[in-house]
Amino acid sequence: MYQPHYRLGFLRYLLLIWMCSCALLASAHPDLNSRQHHLEQLQQTTGQADWIFAKAMLYADSDHPGLALEVLKTLTDKTVTDPKSNFRMARLYLRLKQPDLARKYLLNHFKKFPNAQPDITISTHILLAEIAVRQQHPQTAVNHLNQALMLNPELPAHLYVLTIRAMSMANYAATEVFETLKTGLIHHPGYLPLLELNIQQAMTYSDPCIIDQAIEQLLKQYPRHPNWQNNSGRSTR
């Protein structure tokens, strides 16, 4: 029976989510001097809290974590009074490689802001999933990714892939993995990694019909796929 190499694939997709997080946290200003100039302009146009967050992020992105932490000390729980500020604190602490403090603020979100905008709640679940996969807690990652996908099933397709990898690491039943694959392919029918995972998962069954259906689903989107265009099922591989 074919056994997919879930662990290697899972680590690949940890890299994916890490790249997404870095893109989220990175600043558009490449060097410290230009970013300080930008910060001075920002101080004139934003509130005090926004300016402090921007200054802390500048130091964090410029590899000055000590200075960033000093800036953050000027913020208090009274300052972090809205979902946006709470989420920014979590992002900053994650950027400063303090995942436990980041997790504290992220979990705070659900207690303090139960009626927050869905986008912030979704982002909170995704960052909590990122922390969970870094700390090798795939079950926790699955829980948060599922919550995010329930709030918005049309989130980027790679999050479905990450969820499936985490489910496999957490030893979910094949039927549950298939349900997640099915939902992902409804919203992203042409996403090749999902289609390939669908075939891999089908191969864990002994039913050739299930395998054929998965291959046909891929060939419908990629009729000239080099691995499958001349095959109709596992029996002909």
pLDDT tens, residue order, the chain (237 aa): 434 444 445 455 444 554 544 444 444 334 555 555 555 555 544 556 677 777 777 777 777 777 777 777 776 655 667 788 788 888 888 888 889 989 998 998 898 888 889 999 999 999 999 999 999 999 999 999 999 999 999 999 999 999 999 999 999 999 999 999 999 999 999 999 999 999 999 988 878 999 999 999 999 999 988 888 666 544 444
Helical packing angle, 6-25 and 118-134, nearest 10°: 130
Whether residue 48 lies inside any domain: the answer is yes
* Residue at which a domain ends, from 157, 192, 224: 157
* Residue at which a domain ends, from 157, 181, 204: 157
Tens of pLDDT, residues 40-61: 555 544 556 677 777 777 777 7
Share of the chain above pLDDT 90, in %: 43
Whether residue 1 lies inside any domain: the answer is no
Total-model pTM: 0.73
Domain of 188, in residue numbers: 173-237
The answer to whether the CB of 62 falls within 8 A of the CB of 32 is: yes
Residue found by looking up tokens 């001097």 in the block: 33
From residue 140, give the alpha-carbon distance in Å to each of 1, 90, 134, 166: 29, 18, 11, 9
Whether residue 166 lies inside any domain: the answer is no
Tens of pLDDT, residues 122-147: 999 999 999 999 999 999 999 999 99
Number of domains in the chain: 2
Using CB atoms within 10 Å of the CB of residue 31, give its burial: 0 to 12 exposed, 13 to 18 middle, 19+ buried.
exposed
The answer to whether the CB of 58 falls within 8 A of the CB of 36 is: yes
Q: Which two tokens stand for residue 90?
A: 């979590």
Residue found by looking up tokens 């920002």 in the block: 42
Q: Are residues 180 and 147 in the same domain?
A: no
Q: Are residues 177 and 151 in the same domain?
A: no
Q: Are residues 123 and 199 in the same domain?
A: no
Whether residue 162 lies inside any domain: the answer is no
Whether residue 237 lies inside any domain: the answer is yes
Q: Are residues 62 and 137 in the same domain?
A: yes
CATH of the domain at 132: 1.25.40.10
Q: Are residues 130 and 48 in the same domain?
A: yes
* Residue at which a domain ends, from 127, 157, 187: 157
Q: End-to-end distance of the chain based on CA atoms, in angstroms?
A: 13
Q: Are residues 153 and 177 in the same domain?
A: no
Whether residue 96 lies inside any domain: the answer is yes
